[in-house]
Amino acid sequence: MTGSDHPARRPPPDTLARTLTVGLAVALFGSLLVAVATEMLGPRIDANAERERQQELEALIQSLPGIAELMSGAVEGAASIDAVVVDLASGETVPGADPAAADMRAAVDDPARSTELAPEDDAAGIGRRPDRGVAIIVRRGGEVAMVVLPVFGQGFASTMWGYLALAGDLNTVAGLTFYEHKETPGLGGVIGDDDWQAAWAGKLVRDADGAFRLGVATGTLRADATPHQVDAMTGATYTAAGVTALLRFWLGGLGWGPYLDRLAAE
Amino acid sequence: MGAVSGPAGGGMNGTRDRARTLLGPLLAENPITLHVLGLCSALAVTKTLLAALVMSAAVTAVLILSGGAVSAIRHQVPRSIRLIVQITIIASLVIVVDLVLQAYAWELSKQLSVFVGLIITNCIVFSRAESFAINHGVVRSMLDGAGNGLGYGIVLGLVGAVREVLGSGTLLGATVLATASGGGWYVPMTLMLLPPSAFFLIALVIWGLRTMRREQIEAREFTAPGPENGR
């Protein structure tokens, strides 16, 4: 590098004061830059993520078996799809509540709209449970044909956000999808894959005795468990356990259990 | 880092000099083909031309801004912390670029995934800061950044175009070769959809360039033992 723009300029002296000042100034400038960008672009990014979630939900509903006939009206009786706001503790629907305002993701961090869970109750590892949730319910001729429930829980490296769809008997899984997670790509990350999600269709939540059996197998998938469980994922023990735990939680008494009981009693 | 230093300053700020700073890295001193830097992203994001172009634009923006910023404070930064200062500047800029992509090109930013964040560790950005911007004026450093970004973009664009046409039969999403699965005649080369194909293509580009410009051929680092001088 012979003859630069400013030849014979000596580098600044390495004093402690200068090192600290320059270091702090650069760090401050960098943080300011990032903070301003986050503040200005945040709303747009959130809107993009929200649109993505809507698309995933629509894709899940479209991919459910039999939904096309339901929607086209080819089956006897008109089908309707409604989003209902549910008070999770009582299982009652809240008439007139705006589904868009009852979003679980926003409520989970808001102490006014969520309830802290005791550690022994918190199977899904979510800390707080939103007080309300939005269920999407498909009816055919007045009968419940399908219900889609938002679920989420702690995986290995992230919170896994998804939807669980149950068929009209409320005991058969129609579909399970995770639209957002940060599990290890190639290992736990398979929960985002269509193949893995397709394996859930037709699994039964409870056995004939009413015991909860739904989940990911631990170790070999035994023959007597195949009606209820999907195969384990290699190298993703924590993710698998997290999925099982969140299903157990959200289908239990602290999750959607009370609402499902009410639906079943209809 | 002597091996990756840019064109020597020449001691003046003439227009020709500036043009050389900007245009030199396009072919003669291309960061990918001559210095063989920045290959990781070149393999990963060249499956489609659009992804390659957006990635190149992101790298170019970071190169120009980091070149300018590092150059602007080069007389203030003590040598002992100059690397960490450069990294801090580059990292902040990359986060901003990543946010801009997420806000205005959501689908593409998901496609580029971690590779936008990994611009921080892209050797091209760091080598330009450390070997050029720290020794040159602000305008020259930004020109150098632009030149290197464009040089990176030319190679990525070329590889991306070839991979998209041969791998998917499309260019920027528009059908060029009607694929067999879509009722046409062209059976796509699956290899072109996989990262190794970018290695082959970049190697072909380097081979072509070094055949045309023999001065780019590096000296052999060692001679393999033959039967006559063997053990």
Average pLDDT over residues A231-252: 92
Contact A41, A35 (CB under 8 A): no
Residues A176, A212, single domain; the answer is: yes
Residue A218: per-residue pLDDT: 86
Sign of the CA dihedral running A252, A254, A260, A265 = positive
Residue B13 sits at φ, ψ, to 5 deg, of -110, 30
Residues A185, A245, single domain; the answer is: yes
Residues A259, A152, single domain; the answer is: yes
Contact A217, A225 (CB under 8 A): yes
Average pLDDT over residues A209-235: 88
Judge whether residue A69 has pLDDT over 60.
Answer: no
Does A69 or A26 have the greater pLDDT score?
Answer: A26
Residue A5: inside a domain, yes or no? no
Does A172 or B182 have the greater pLDDT score?
Answer: A172
Residue A66 sits at φ, ψ, to 5 deg, of 85, -5
Residue A225: inside a domain, yes or no? yes
Contact B72, B65 (CB under 8 A): no
Residue A95: inside a domain, yes or no? yes
Residues A53, A82, single domain; the answer is: no
Residues A39, A84, single domain; the answer is: no
Residue A2: inside a domain, yes or no? no
User: With bands split at pLDDT 50, 70 and 90, how would you rate the model's confidence at B89?
Assistant: very high
Q: Which two tokens stand for residue B5?
A: 């230093």
CB contact, 8 Å: B187 with chain A? no
Write out chain B residues lying below 8 Å of A1, CB-based. Answer: 5, 8-9, 131, 135
Q: Give the minimum alpha-carbon distance from A56 to chain B in angstroms, rounded to a whole number.
A: 14
> How far is it, in rounded angstroms, from Cα A72 to Cα B69?
60
The residue of chain B with its CA nearest to that of A48 is B106
Residue B10: per-residue pLDDT: 43
Residues A53, A100, single domain; the answer is: no
B89, A30: Cβ pair inside 8 Å? Answer: yes
Residue A88: inside a domain, yes or no? yes
Residue A42: per-residue pLDDT: 93
The H or E element that residue A33 is part of is helix A16-63
Long-range contacts formed by A197-201: CB under 8 A, 24+ apart = A199/A230, A199/A231, A200/A173, A200/A175, A200/A176, A200/A230, A201/A65, A201/A173, A201/A174, A201/A175
Average pLDDT over residues A43-48: 92
> How far is it, in rounded angstroms, from Cα B60 to Cα B51?
14
Pairing between β-strand A143-154 and β-strand A132-140 as defined by DSSP bridges: antiparallel
Mean pLDDT of chain A: 84
Domain count of the fold of chain A: 2
CB contact, 8 Å: A9 with chain B? yes
Lowest-confidence range among A84-93, A154-163, B93-102, B172-181? B172-181
> How far is it, in rounded angstroms, from Cα A89 to Cα A10?
72
Residue A9: per-residue pLDDT: 57
> How far is it, in rounded angstroms, from Cα A53 to Cα B63?
34
Residue A5: per-residue pLDDT: 47
Residue A4: inside a domain, yes or no? no
The label of the residue with tokens 């800390």 reads: A127
Residues A129, A229, single domain; the answer is: yes
Average pLDDT over residues A17-35: 93
Does A142 or A4 have the greater pLDDT score?
Answer: A142
User: With bands split at pLDDT 50, 70 and 90, how would you rate the model's confidence at B120?
Assistant: confident
Domain end position, chosen among A45, A63, A81: A63
Does A137 or B6 have the greater pLDDT score?
Answer: A137
pTM above 0.90, yes or no: no
Residues A207, A260, single domain; the answer is: yes
User: With bands split at pLDDT 50, 70 and 90, how would you rate the model's confidence at A8?
Assistant: very low
Residues A35, A120, single domain; the answer is: no
B8, A34: Cβ pair inside 8 Å? Answer: no
Q: Which two tokens stand for residue B142?
A: 């930004």
User: With bands split at pLDDT 50, 70 and 90, how would you rate the model's confidence at A67?
Assistant: low
CB contact, 8 Å: B176 with chain A? no
User: With bands split at pLDDT 50, 70 and 90, how would you rate the model's confidence at A2?
Assistant: very low
Q: Which two tokens stand for residue A31?
A: 């943080």
Judge whether residue B3 has pLDDT over 90.
Answer: no
Nearest in space to B55 (alpha carbons), one of B45, B63, B66: B45
Residues A47, A119, single domain; the answer is: no
Average pLDDT over residues A106-134: 89
Residues A155, A195, single domain; the answer is: yes
Average pLDDT over residues B171-181: 83
Residue A41: per-residue pLDDT: 94
Domain end position, chosen among A19, A36, A63: A63
Residue A3: inside a domain, yes or no? no
3-state DSSP of chain B: CHHHCCCCCCCCCCHHHHHHHHHHHHCCCCCCCCCCCCHHHHHHCCCCHHHHHHHHHHHHHHHHHHHHHHHHCCCCCCHHHHHHHHHHHHHHHHHHHHHHHHHHCHHHHHHHCHHHHHHHHCHHHHHHHHHCHHHCCHHHHHHHHHHHHHHHHHHHHHHHHHHHHHHHCEECCEECCCEHHHCCCECCCHHHHCCHHHHHHHHHHHHHHHHHCHHHCCCCCCCCCCCCCCC
- Give the structural domain span for A18: 11-63
Average pLDDT over residues B172-197: 83
A216: burial class by Cβ within 10 Å (0-12, 13-18, 19+)?
A: buried
Average pLDDT over residues A215-240: 88
Interface ipTM: 0.76
Residue A163: inside a domain, yes or no? yes
Residues A31, A144, single domain; the answer is: no
Contact A199, A185 (CB under 8 A): no
Please name the residues between 226 and 255 in chain A that touch chain B, using a CB distance below 8 Å.
Answer: none
